Amino acid sequence: MKIGVIGLGYWGPNIVRNLISNKNVAKVVCCDSNPKRLESTKLRLPTVETVTDHKAILKDPSVVAVAVVTPVSSHYRLAKEALEAGKHVLIEKPMTDSVKTSEELIEIAERKKLTLMVDHTFVYTGAVKKIREIVDKGEVGDILYFDSVRVNLGLFQHDINVLWDLAPHDISIMDYVVGKEPEFVLAIGAKHYNDMEDMAYLTVGFRDNLVAHFHVNWLSPVKVRRILIGGSKKMVVFDDMEPSEKVKVYDKGVEINEEESVYQTLVQYRTGDMYAPQIEQTEALSLMCGDFVSSIIEGKKPLTDGCAGLKVVKILEASQRSLLNHNAVIKLK
């Protein structure tokens, strides 16, 4: 199988490297308008072909699939062109910059029976898969909240704010682990250096008092990557900064004993053992690329298909509206 990769910025070369090492991929052809990037990629990965015009990739009948790893604003246009040229498509997160365009891509892919996938890499990490497994087994009980912090200094994006840049990681993890339909979105943000929010708090509300909350920030002196998941039975902490033991499961919780009086309740705390399950170490990006390739071959849905990508875009678009409307609560349909 021959695969094209459009865009060799920060993330593109990683996609190229992982596609090359996939045993079902015979050839990778790369495209970037900047010849220096093509050169430097060719130096490290000498087996790649390079072109400067993505049209060359789309016209090449031997190219079966295309990865779009360009700035967000061009995702829709390039993915659409590729689908219409009959190529299976992998898009870097976030899928596109609007619900409308994401829906259109899904529609085209379905019509043309092509694989459409979004690179939500974190869903393929051993840690996140383990958390999902623990939740699925019922170990956590009902999920009460999902709290995520992803902050550090830097990597200001020029075309998107911090929510569109960082939150897709955590929203996709949340969607995969929680698996429920959100009801509303509320976003708070602040701009300090240019016309884009460089820090933001995003709330996603669900039925039954389940609340998800995300803190994303380009202006933090310390790097924090931590998700707390409170459950009625157990609680989970995913700390991605830990060199090992990234996931910890706490047998901690609260029990309410009703006493005689209607007015009184007795809260009891349960604290038991904690354990850190062993986590699969395979590089997530390699698994993601593998899922893309095998989805094409087997004609199956990838884990993070267009619909998964759309869910994230729906929340991001609503967050945008919340920001524009002075932190108003935005109902999702």
**In whole angstroms, how close is the CB of 108 to a second copy at the nearest point?**
31
Task: Confirm or reject binding of residue 61 to a second copy (CB under 8 A).
Answer: no
321 alpha carbon, distance to own chain's centre = 20
The DSSP bridge partners found for residue 190 are 199
* Contact call for residue 194 and a second copy (CB under 8 A): yes
Nearer to a second copy, 103 or 147 (CB): 147
Among 60, 74, 145, 180, interactor with a second copy by CB under 8 A: 145
Distance, in Å, from the CA atom of 227 to the CA atom of 213, rounded to the nearest integer, reads 10
> Min. distance of Cβ 58 from a second copy in angstroms?
28
Complete DSSP assignment for 133-154: HHHHTTSS-SEEEEEEEEEEE-
Q: Which stretch binds a second copy (CB under 8 A): 66-74, 171-179, 267-275, 291-299?
A: 267-275
Decide if 284 contacts 304 (C-beta within 8 A).
no
Residue in the block written with tokens 């094209």: 4
| Residue selected from 26, 133, 153, 282 as contacting a second copy according to rule CB under 8 A | 153
By CB under 8 A, name the one of 41, 115, 161, 203 that touches a second copy: 203
Q: How far apart are CA 171 and CA 149, in angstroms?
A: 11
Among 233, 265, 282, 300, binds a second copy (CB under 8 A): 265
DSSP classification of residue 300: P
Burial (CB count <10 Å: 0-12, 13-18, 19+), residue 296: buried
| Minimum separation from the CB atom of position 230 to a second copy (A) | 5
Least CB distance from residue 155 to a second copy, whole Å?
9
User: What letter does residue 60 receive in the DSSP assignment?
Assistant: -
Q: Smallest distance, Å, CB 34 to a second copy?
A: 16
Q: Which stretch binds a second copy (CB under 8 A): 98-106, 109-117, 228-236, 285-293?
A: 228-236
Cα–Cα distances in Å, from 94 out to 4, 102, 192, 201, 297? 19, 10, 24, 18, 25
The 8-class DSSP code of residue 195 comes to S
Give the one residue of 36, 221, 260, 261 binding a second copy; rule: CB under 8 A: 221
Cβ-Cβ contacts under 8 Å for 74 (sequence gap 6 or more): 68
Whether the CB-CB separation of 19 and 3 falls below 8 Å is answered with yes
Backbone torsion region of residue 138, taken as left when φ is above 0, otherwise alpha when ψ lies between -120 and 50, otherwise beta: left
Choose between 125 and 203: whose C-beta lies nearer to a second copy.
Answer: 203
As a whole number of angstroms, the distance between CA 140 and CA 251 comes to: 9
Q: Quick one: which segment of 3-11, 94-102, 162-170, 245-253 binds a second copy (CB under 8 A)?
A: 245-253
Which residue, 8 or 66, is less far from a second copy as judged by CB?
Answer: 8
Part of the chain binding a second copy (CB under 8 A), chosen from 51-59, 101-109, 163-171, 226-234: 226-234
257 contacts a second copy (rule: CB under 8 A): no
210 binds a second copy (CB under 8 A): yes
Classify residue 21 by its DSSP letter. Answer: T
Among the listed residues 209, 260, 298, 299, the single contact to a second copy using CB under 8 A: 209
* Residue 233 within binding range of a second copy, rule CB under 8 A: no
Residues 125-144 that bind a second copy (CB under 8 A): 144
Q: Does 243 bind a second copy (CB under 8 A)?
A: yes
